[in-house]
């Protein structure tokens, strides 16, 4: 499927809308769902939807339903978010992907687990587990709650660190220590292992903003894929030797669906940003997805010939500060952002061809760098299909929700 966004069509769709506005092309989204499904199903893996990369309950529900039986559940960011998603009955299977040190969070998680046993909390050290144990000991019930160990998948050649600073569980020996503690506890049950290879799943090797680094990135990814596979295999072999049957062995992301799915011990792969296809995910060799959403800013000023200024636009993505974390002009084609000003919170100047005819109020469409964070800037997403608005759905922000 080719990208079928066309400027005059989407401009007409938004002619009566207040701008800025975010639109989602549901036909493009359908295609991306099919692409994610095809890559995972080829190797017999389930897909876990990363809610952090969507943050729109109606779209989370739509993707899960469209994906069907191949979709395992949701990976969410926080316990508070898990409670909210549970209240919407989107799925009974929620993996809370980040540990917490809040006693209030742990209490809420234990309450949630008492009502529904398919909620799983991430841990990576004994301190995390002891917080759970102290809370469970206060309760009359002696039942256990389900936990998942986050294992570091960074690549460390010659003392370097290539990846993200997440879990301190860096080796099989580290894993054994944590596993033995879990085995001795009656309050927790090891049901999953997650190993996220950020230097593979989160690094595009065809990035036009860092062209000369792309060969290095390609080398890092090739070496990391082998290193990560070996690490996860050692953990799998150890667990099999000890008769541990996991419900979840999770890995990867939208940028590594194929390479992660090839590992036989992996039960599920995570996907999120690839559904909406923010522009950073164009730069992966494995990418076959198409842009499914973009935001429109109105032209409000004409400061000089060849320059227009739009209202708002400072939607910069998190991570290492670089040009690729900014949105990129999408429609009409041929536009560029000024180097000295870039995207501003209240205005964004844009270079246009000198012969391009634009007028005040005309929209310019942009693609964000990341898929989830942009939802914190809009109360609703406008859903379109075949050139028409079919629905309006609230984001977490529009519902008055803010999860950390």
Kindly list the distances between the CA atom of residue 333 and the CA atoms of 232, 260, 263, 294, 330, in Å, as whole numbers in the listed order: 44, 35, 41, 14, 6
Q: What is the CA radius of gyration of the chain?
A: 22
- List the pLDDT tens digit at each of the 404 positions of the chain: 566 799 999 999 999 999 999 999 999 999 999 999 999 999 999 999 999 999 999 999 999 999 999 998 999 999 999 999 999 999 989 999 999 999 999 999 999 898 877 899 999 999 999 999 999 998 876 689 999 999 999 999 988 899 999 999 999 999 999 999 999 999 999 999 999 999 988 888 888 888 788 888 888 899 999 999 999 999 999 999 999 999 999 999 988 999 999 999 999 999 999 999 999 999 998 889 999 999 999 999 999 999 999 999 999 999 888 888 999 999 999 999 999 999 999 999 999 999 999 999 999 999 999 999 999 999 999 999 999 999 999 999 999 999 98
Q: Is 191 left (phi over 0), alpha (psi -120 to 50) or beta?
A: alpha
Under DSSP, is residue 207 helix (H, G, I), strand (E, B) or coil?
Answer: coil
User: Token digits for 28?
Assistant: 């493009």
Residues 310 and 32: beta-carbon distance below 8 Å = no
Q: Domains in the chain, start-ordered, CATH in brackets?
A: 25-276 (3.20.20.10), 293-399 (2.40.37.20)
Q: Kindly report whether the global pTM for this prediction surpasses the value 0.85.
A: yes
Kindly list the distances between the CA atom of residue 115 and the CA atoms of 87, 119, 311, in Å, as whole numbers in the listed order: 12, 10, 47
User: Token digits for 397?
Assistant: 């922000």
Half-sphere exposure of 30 (CA within 13 A, CB side): 8
Which H/E stretch holds residue 190? strand 188-195
Q: Omega into 368 within 30° of 0, i.e. cis?
A: no
Q: What is the largest CA-CA distance in the chain?
A: 75
d(CA 276, CA 292): 5
pLDDT of residue 115: 82
DSSP states of 73-104: EEEES-HHHHHHHHHTTS-S-EEE-S----HH
Burial class (CB in 10 A: 0-12, 13-18, 19+), 199: buried
pLDDT of residue 208: 83
> Which residues 6+ apart lie within 8 Å of 320 measured at CB?
none
How many residues does this entry show for the chain? 404
């Amino acid at each position: 499927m080719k990208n079928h966004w066309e400027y005059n069509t989407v401009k007409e769709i938004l002619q009566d809308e207040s701008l800025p506005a975010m639109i989602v092309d549901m036909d493009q989204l359908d295609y991306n769902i099919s692409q994610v499904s095809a890559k995972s199903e080829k190797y017999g893996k389930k897909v876990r939807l990363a809610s952090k990369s969507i943050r729109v309950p109606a779209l989370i529900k739509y993707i899960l339903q469209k994906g069907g039986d191949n979709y395992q559940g949701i990976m969410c960011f926080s316990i508070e978010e898990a409670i909210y998603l549970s209240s919407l009955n989107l799925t009974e299977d929620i993996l809370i992907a980040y540990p917490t040190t809040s006693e209030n969070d742990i209490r809420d998680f234990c309450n949630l687990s008492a009502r529904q046993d398919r909620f799983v909390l991430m841990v990576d050290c004994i301190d995390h587990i002891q917080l759970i144990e102290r809370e469970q000991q206060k309760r009359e019930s002696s039942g256990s709650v389900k936990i998942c160990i986050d294992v570091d998948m960074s690549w460390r050649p010659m003392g370097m660190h290539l990846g993200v600073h997440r879990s301190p569980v860096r080796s099989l020996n580290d894993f054994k220590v944590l596993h033995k503690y879990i085995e001795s506890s009656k309050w927790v049950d090891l049901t999953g292992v997650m190993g996220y290879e950020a230097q593979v799943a989160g690094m595009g090797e065809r990035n036009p903003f860092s062209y000369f680094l792309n060969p290095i990135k390609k080398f890092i990814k090739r070496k990391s894929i082998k290193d990560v596979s070996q690490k996860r295999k050692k953990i799998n072999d150890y667990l099999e030797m000890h008769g541990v049957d996991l419900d979840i062995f999770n890995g990867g992301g939208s940028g590594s669906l194929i390479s992660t799915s090839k590992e036989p011990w992996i039960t599920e792969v995570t996907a999120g940003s690839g559904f909406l296809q923010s522009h950073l995910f164009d730069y992966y060799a494995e990418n076959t997805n198409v842009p499914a959403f973009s935001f429109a800013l109105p032209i409000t000023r004409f400061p000089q010939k060849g320059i227009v200024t739009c209202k708002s636009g400072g939607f910069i993505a998190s991570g290492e500060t670089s040009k690729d974390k900014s949105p990129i002009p999408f429609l009409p084609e041929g536009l560029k952002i000024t180097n000295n000003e870039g995207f501003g919170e209240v205005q964004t100047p844009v270079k246009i061809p000198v012969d391009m005819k634009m007028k005040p109020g005309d929209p310019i469409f942009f693609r964000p760098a990341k898929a989830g964070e942009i939802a914190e800037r809009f109360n609703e997403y406008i859903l379109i299909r075949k050139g028409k608005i079919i629905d309006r759905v609230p984001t977490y922000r529009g519902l008055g929700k803010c999860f950390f």
